[in-house]
Structures are given as structure tokens and as C-alpha cells.
């Protein structure tokens, strides 16, 4: 191990949400345990943070039903997101930094709506960095599958069932210009129109190829008002499947190990990280837990691990 630069010590709460009700296939429900086995809590403690693992939230089982009116498992998705919302909001009110261990990406509706509620009452600006291969901006009218892990960004922007769009206590939870999407390389046809109409800033893989990851993250972190709460929603399928096989919806052509590390390191440098989701890790598809280990290494960088003591950046 190399020595690490002293990062500001944070009080972090790990919250497990072991469900795959929003996904098209089973297995993301095992994500929290795989992250524990990979040593996520210990990895963050090694950086000097105070980490509490609050265990797993309760929620309904996956009924494995077909979609109804374009939504698959809507009652279960609502139940899980209510649990996540309340738990994340409680940790933010306690002054702690919540790390949601999913679970599939539908859970970001609960976590980010809680962050939006917290920021609204604290008067803090919010920016959401959405790392993903997919835009997750489908609606029941556009989705090819009904799987609700493809809908969280739309729900957070006010497009979706009221039980989800109003979780924050106000709707929409997010304004599109608070969101930056990074790594996108698979967007459904109708979704493409919706994103364009909403005006979300998307840094797709072509943009990353053309500009380089450094310039993309600089842009995504540009114009941050002082005191901004940064939320990172990290879908493991953001990563190239060669290094991160444990995802059900893998798309080739994703960022490399170093590009992903650079993202995390540059976010850490801002000192503004306020909350994190790690989602879509499907241990049933992993190879000797290597994707969970990789997610843990990236979390370490996000929480301040650096190779050298850096000055005058
Ligand atoms: Mn996603």
C-alpha cells in the first residue's frame, strides 16, 4: 500500500438495499453483500473515515412478474424506494454521508429524492453526477421492457408515477441542469428524444473519446457554486465489461480502469462529495468478486485515496 494524502475525515453510513425488482434479471440483490465481502467499509476506514454499516433495508421480494402498463413491479419499486428515501434522508440529517449499496438503479429515485429534499431544506445547490452506460430516462410509454432501473432519471425529473416523482416532497426532485451524465453509450430511440427535450447534459462515450476523460470531468464539475452537494450515482455498467463483468446490462466500449479512477480522483479533489450510490453490481455474473473489488477501489479514490501528496493542482 502506498501512503495516502490525509483526506478530511467523514462520517459515512453504508446502507444495503438488496433488491433487483427494477432490473430485467435477478442478482443485483446480492450486491450489498459482495461489496461487504470486498471490504468496502474497511477500505474507507483505512483512509481515516468513520464508517458505520447500517445493514440492509427491508423490502418486498421480487415477484418476477411481467410489466403492467409499462411498469414492471411498480408496487415493489415504490416500497423499496420509500425505504431508501427515508434511510438516506435520516443519514443526511444526522450529518453523515450515505453510501447506498444496491440493488438495481431504480433505487436512485429514493436516494436522490432524499438528497434533493435535504438540499432544499438546507439551501444547498445540488449536482448529480450520473455514471452509467445508459441514460435511464425511459418512461412507461417509451420503455421497451418495463424495467424500472431504466427510468430513475426521468422519475427524478418529474416524468413517472406520482408515488415516485413526489418522493422528495416536491416535484420534480431535480432540475435537468443539475444533472451530468457520463459514459453513456446505449440509449433507446424514444429515450433519445426525451433527453434532448429535457436538455440534460450528457457526456457520451464519443465525447469522452474526442475530449478525453479529464476535460469531460472538468466540464461536469464546472461552475460549481460554493457549498454544492455533489451526489455520485455510480452504475457499475459505466465501466468497460472487460474490467467489470458483474453487470446484467453490459455494453462494450466503456471507460478503462484508469479513466474511471481519474473520474473518482477529480471528484475527490473538489471536497464536495455528499452522497453516493453504488448500483447494478450483480455478483452472479462476477469472476471471483473482481467487480466488487474494483468498485471498492474506485470508492477509495472517490473518498480521497491518492498515490502522492499533491500540491498546486
Ligand atoms: Mn443505470
Q: Provide the pLDDT for residue 108.
A: 99
Which grid cell is 21? 425488482
Q: Provide the pLDDT for residue 241.
A: 98
Q: What percent of the chain has pLDDT over 90?
A: 94
Residues in the chain: 313
The pLDDT tens digits of the residues spanning 225-247 come to 999 999 999 999 999 999 999 99
Active site residue 71: no
Is 90 exceeded by the pLDDT of residue 309?
no
* Interval between CA 152 and ligand 1 midpoint (Å): 8
Q: Provide the pLDDT for residue 144.
A: 87
Residue 204 annotated as lining a ligand binding site: no
Residue 223 annotated as lining a ligand binding site: no
pLDDT band at residue 184 using 50, 70 and 90 as cut-offs: very high
Residue 286 annotated as lining a ligand binding site: no
pLDDT band at residue 172 using 50, 70 and 90 as cut-offs: very high
Q: Provide the pLDDT for residue 4.
A: 43
Is 60 exceeded by the pLDDT of residue 159?
yes
The CA distance from 23 to 290, in Å, is: 21
pTM of the model: 0.96
* Interval between CA 120 and ligand 1 midpoint (Å): 25
Q: Provide the pLDDT for residue 308.
A: 82
Active site residue 142: no
Q: Provide the pLDDT for residue 84.
A: 99
Q: Provide the pLDDT for residue 5.
A: 46
* Interval between CA 123 and ligand 1 midpoint (Å): 28
Is 60 exceeded by the pLDDT of residue 128?
yes
* Interval between CA 309 and ligand 1 midpoint (Å): 34
Measuring CA to CA, which residue among 17, 3, 116, 114 is closest to residue 62? 17
Strand order in the sheet with 201-204: 50-56, 11-17, 97-102, 273-279, 229-235, 126-131, 179-184, 201-204
* Residue 10 near residue 51, CB atoms below 8 Å: no
Task: Name residue, grid cell 429534499.
Answer: 117
The pLDDT tens digits of the residues spanning 275-285 come to 999 999 999 99
The CA distance from 284 to 128, in Å, is: 29
Active site residue 210: no
CATH number given to 11-303: 3.40.800.10
Residue 140 annotated as lining a ligand binding site: no
Can you give the residue ranges of every domain in the chain?
A: 11-303
Amino acid at each position: 500500500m502506498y501512503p495516502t494524502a490525509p483526506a478530511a475525515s467523514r462520517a459515512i453510513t453504508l446502507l444495503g438495499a438488496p433488491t433487483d425488482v427494477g432490473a430485467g434479471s435477478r442478482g443485483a440483490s446480492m450486491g450489498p453483500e459482495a461489496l461487504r465481502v470486498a471490504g468496502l467499509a474497511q477500505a474507507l476506514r483505512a483512509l481515516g473515515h468513520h464508517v458505520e454499516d447500517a445493514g440492509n433495508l427491508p423490502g418486498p421480494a421480487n415477484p418476477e412478474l411481467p410489466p403492467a402498463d409499462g411498469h414492471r413491479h411498480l408496487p415493489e419499486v415504490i416500497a423499496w424506494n420509500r425505504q431508501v428515501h427515508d434511510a438516506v434522508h435520516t443519514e443526511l440529517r444526522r450529518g453523515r454521508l450515505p453510501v447506498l449499496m444496491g440493488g438495481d438503479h431504480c433505487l436512485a429515485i429514493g436516494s436522490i429524492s432524499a438528497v434533493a429534499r435535504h438540499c432544499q431544506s438546507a439551501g444547498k445547490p445540488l449536482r448529480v453526477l450520473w455514471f452509467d452506460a445508459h441514460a435511464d430516462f425511459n418512461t412507461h410509454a417509451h420503455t421497451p421492457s418495463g424495467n424500472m432501473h431504466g427510468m430513475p432519471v426521468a422519475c427524478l425529473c418529474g416524468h413517472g408515477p406520482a408515488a415516485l416523482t413526489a418522493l422528495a416532497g416536491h416535484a420534480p426532485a431535480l432540475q435537468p441542469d443539475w444533472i451530468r451524465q457520463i459514459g453513456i453509450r446505449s440509449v433507446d430511440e424514444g429515450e433519445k428524444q426525451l433527453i434532448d427535450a429535457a436538455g440534460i447534459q450528457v457526456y457520451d462515450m464519443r465525447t469522452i473519446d474526442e475530449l478525453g476523460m479529464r476535460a469531460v470531468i472538468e466540464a461536469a464539475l464546472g461552475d460549481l457554486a460554493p457549498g454544492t452537494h455533489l451526489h455520485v450515482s455510480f452504475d457499475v455498467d459505466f465501466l468497460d465489461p472487460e474490467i467489470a463483468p458483474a453487470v446484467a446490462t453490459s455494453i462494450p466500449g466503456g471507460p478503462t480502469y484508469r479513466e474511471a479512477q481519474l473520474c473518482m480522483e477529480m471528484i475527490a479533489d473538489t471536497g464536495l462529495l455528499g452522497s453516493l450510490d453504488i448500483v447494478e453490481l450483480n455478483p452472479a455474473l462476477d469472476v471471483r468478486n473482481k467487480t466488487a473489488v474494483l468498485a471498492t477501489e474506485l470508492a477509495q479514490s472517490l473518498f480521497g485515496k491518492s498515490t502522492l501528496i499533491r500540491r498546486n493542482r
